[in-house]
Chain A
Amino acid sequence: MAWDSGEVREILRMIETEHLDVRAVTMGISLRDTAAESLERTCARVYEKLMRSASALVATAQAVEADYAVPITNKRISVTPMALVTEPSRAPRVVEAAVVLDRAAGELGVDYIGGFSALVEKAMTSGDRALIDSIPEALAVTKRVCSSVNVATTRAGINGDAVLIMGRVIKELAERTAREGGIGCAKLCTFANIPDDNPFVAGAMHGLGEGECVINVGCSGPGVVLSALKRLRASGDPMNLSTVADTIKRMAFKVTRAGELIGREVARRMNAAAGGDTGGDVRVRFGIVDLSLAPSPVVGDSVAEILEEMGLERTGAPGTVAALALLTDAVKKGGVMASSHVGGLSGAFIPVSEDARMVDAVRVGALSLESLEAMSAVCSVGLDMVAVPGDTSAETLAAIVADEIAIGVFNNKATAVRIIPVPGKSAGESVIYGGLLGEAIVQAVSRFRADRFITLGGRIPAPLLALRN
């Protein structure tokens, strides 16, 4: 036989009991050619382009899923940051653009559409402002639209004005979706160093240097890594930091290979169907694999469980940052070998509500907002799916965003904040969002304030790190 039967059995185990899946196949679509002089006309062109480009996405992904037996959990679309597309219309509010994205996404059968976004790391144009002002209403009236605002880069520094505005946007969005626990905030990321090719929501967008259409893939697979570490511990072989790193690396390789295989095949089939290389007008290319470990609320599919399997009593205990750094680095090393193009966020995600064991850690008081901040210095994103009391002020929210963004800017990495001030709830209470979003425990926020600092306005200059020429 071409493979050892143990090798085939291992894959069977990964798929059937360890939750190996491809978290997202995300089709990036450029909307640069849809901008028009009126918002109405822009929306019509956006709708037409999405329906034309992505009509085969869900069916193709399902066919590939059937052939390879690896589940694809989400099919998504990411588009050019919408502020650039709606700006020529000079509309003061662009909620209609979100509505049309939502409609197209619904009709195409995709789970999410990302890119209701603005890039304002240095300053804002009137088009950026129109989009940002529209976010609370846009995300409250749509289901599938995800929004992101890049308020800082290592090159440009931090746009303090935008950070403050985002504090207010988050607050208003939570209030508009109060009946569902402020769920609108789960669809909004405030970013530093936002990647152009991230397949994961809510930060997915189709960057300016991208082509017409691209297929990006987000891996998953914490369950696979967790089981491998459990087997290592049970095997009686030496278990030390080196063997732990090595085991994670090997598993990350396999998980990423699955993502690469699926992504390439979806891109190949979609390109062939669109006649991309034979005169058709849509060329679909494979972009990148984002090799992040993405947890889900299912037991055994948790990043926190991996950290605890390494020997932490609870995630958030002293030692958590070191363990997470080891994990993230080993995932990258294994993944980068497995894929020809790695991109997006690529690390390990720590979305609190989406990871059942992390929720437990918050519940027992092991994991605080501050420990999550420290963890974000060594993993993929940042404060992700964190619930805070509903009475947290816009200024305090902005200050939390500023801290997280500073970690990204001054460490030359992407960080983001996806925080939910849950209306009417205070620290220790729970709110259930369901599905991949899971359950959140409202976390305490420092009672000391930073209002004067956060309302100073202006920009935090780019760090010395930016001057690399």
Chain B
Amino acid sequence: MISLLKVEKITVKYGVIPAIQELEFEVERGQIVALLGANGAGKTTTLKTIMGVLRPVRGRIFYDGKDITFLPAPQRVRLGIALVPEGRGIFNRLTVRENLLLGAYHRRDQEGILQDLEEVYRLFPRLKERENQVAGTLSGGEQQMLAIGRGLMSRPRLMLLDEPSLGLAPLVVRELYALIRRIRENGVTILLVEQSAPMAIGVADYVYVLETGVVKIAGTPQEVESLEEVKKVYLGG
């Protein structure tokens, strides 16, 4: 069966400076794939390119066999790709409920949307409590939940998570990762970008490590963990 996402030798530039060069990797259905790397390695750029906000100057992106390289972002959302941006990217001035509903913007099935809303509330009871609160007043962890909930509202098949653990307390991070596992169990494929390696490696089925825009290391978590460089740089010895 063809992989859900196939990134084929893409090069993305900021002006004249390449952020990622000839990047290549795959994500299989139902997997959690982790994309690791230091700041500036090109992780966020990759996600944005997959989402359609950035265009590669070279290379192709295939989603479920379809070439989506030049498809605009709104259409990619319709195909089932959802991005939970770095730093949450929620709309601070809108309420929790409005934020969630926006996740389903492109959908027309009112019934389905309301059903999914209830699902999200079941997954995140705290969001239900704060339904009509302005999103900016939520705590970091709650905002992250909101961001993920919003992503789920689009009924995605592929979810792109950009540094979800950023700025969250360890306890909250653990909750978050339990959640990520649950989402995968519900049939959503996940591409996870993180700077903090241990947790990501713990939950992933496959790991890619990026450095200055290219894949330096690739393998199963066990393979990757045992590598000396990874141990030193990303796992703290």
A binds B: no
Binding site for A on B (CB under 8 A): none
Binding site for B on A (CB under 8 A): none
